[in-house]
Amino acid sequence: MKNPSSLYVHVPFCEQICHYCDFNKFFLKNQPVADYIEACGHEMKMAQAQTPIDTIYIGGGTPTALEDEQLERLLELIHTYFIVKPDAEFTVEVNPGSASGATFAMMRRYGVNRLSIGAQTFDPGLLKVINRDHGEGDVETSIELARDAGISDISIDMMFGLPGQTMEQWKQSLKRLVSLPIRHVSAYSLKIEPKTVFYQMWNKGQLTLPGQDIEAEMYDWLYEYLHEKGFQAYEISNFAKPGYESLHNQAYWNNDGYYGIGAGAHGYVDGVRHRNHGPLPKYLKAVEAGKKPWLEAHEVPVKEQMEEEMFMGLRKRIGVNGQRFESRYGLTVEEAFPGIVSKLQDRGLLQKENDQFRLTRQGLLLGNEVFEAFLLP
């Protein structure tokens, strides 16, 4: 496996916790933020990265919950310990209304050229239901400030299947979305994850969800409407204007390696997948002792690599290239997964054209069934 050319950095601090979020996160107040940032720097140094970096993604949590000086220090450390290509795709997650024009200008000076803004919905009532801390007009304001600072490559995150959400609310949010000067959309259906407020409400019977049929209808409308407005579906949940597909996310879907820095971050380096300690004290203690802050790590066997190649690669609309698969693993897709391709083709979920395997339109809706089919016994 070639050395990674992608970097993910996790900022686990939030000023408010969303009811659906199961990412590693902590309330910002009274946290050792400065110590954490320096610890990330030490972990970056331990990575001993040699290959120039093509893509960087700072996620969370809420990176823009940091003070400007703290975020600037984190950006400085990235440039200290990694060789960042001048034309690298450099993305930072932004909570609407949480960054000033000065914040965006500072980001731009350090090479940030892309933002992922977490709108989720434009319906004020639903924003309260999911416990978002931004309000009416904050998304538009953040976009305007970012563009004034020279950052025009902007992605918006949306969610559907929210508690009590109607089809009409979803349509209105998407209409508001496409009126914005953006180039990329990520749209995900709500998943009720353990250790979230929604999970507790679900267990108590206090959560009313639209149901799978409505969710499927919402996705279908999303797909058609964004296509009509010039956004191509290049992955199950991601849509872009031509030329603005996320390079960083494609590194994941192509089963390429990447560095993962920070509490709870995942990485994939030299054929080894690892997950860092999530709790801040454990992460900080490990780094202070000069150790890699890994909670767990395992070398990925070839069988597992082939599985990942298929179920991550099939998320992309372009699908999995058969020649690339064979050059990596020494087997054709059909040889690696006997009988699976023909079975999925017969069900109308998978198609093969010019040695390219991809999901059909029906396969998009039943993606998890397809992915499970490529799990070898």
Each residue of 119-153: pLDDT tens digit? 999 999 999 999 998 888 999 999 999 999 999 99
Amino acid code (one letter) for 349: L
The CATH H-level (homologous superfamily) assignment of domain 6-253 is: Aldolase class I (3.20.20.70)
**Integer Cα distance of 259 and 266 in angstroms:** 8
Distance separating alpha carbons of residues 275 and 253, to the nearest angstrom:
18
74-85 average pLDDT score? 98
- Say whether pLDDT at 1 is over 70: no
| Strand pairing report for 13-14 and 26-27 | parallel
Q: What is the pLDDT of residue 3?
A: 82
- Name the segment(s) of the chain with CATH classification 1.10.10: 306-373
Helix axes of 101-109 and 68-81: crossing angle, nearest 10 degrees: 10
Portions of the chain given CATH number 3.20.20.70: 6-253
Q: Around 34, how many Cα atoms within 13 Å sit in the side-chain half-sphere?
A: 1
What is residue 376's predicted lDDT score, i.e. its pLDDT? 87
| Domain boundaries 306-373, corresponding CATH code | 1.10.10
Average per-residue pLDDT for the chain: 95
What is the rounded CA–CA span in Å between residue 149 and residue 104?
6
Who contacts 88 (Cβ-Cβ below 8 Å, separation ≥6)? 53, 54, 55, 56, 111
State if pTM tops 0.85.
Answer: yes
Q: Are 86 and 113 in contact (CB under 8 A)?
A: no
Binned at pLDDT 50, 70 and 90, residue 21 comes out as confident
DSSP-derived secondary structure letter, 316: B
CB proximity list for 114: less than 8 A, separation 6 or greater: 89, 90, 91, 92, 151, 153, 154, 155
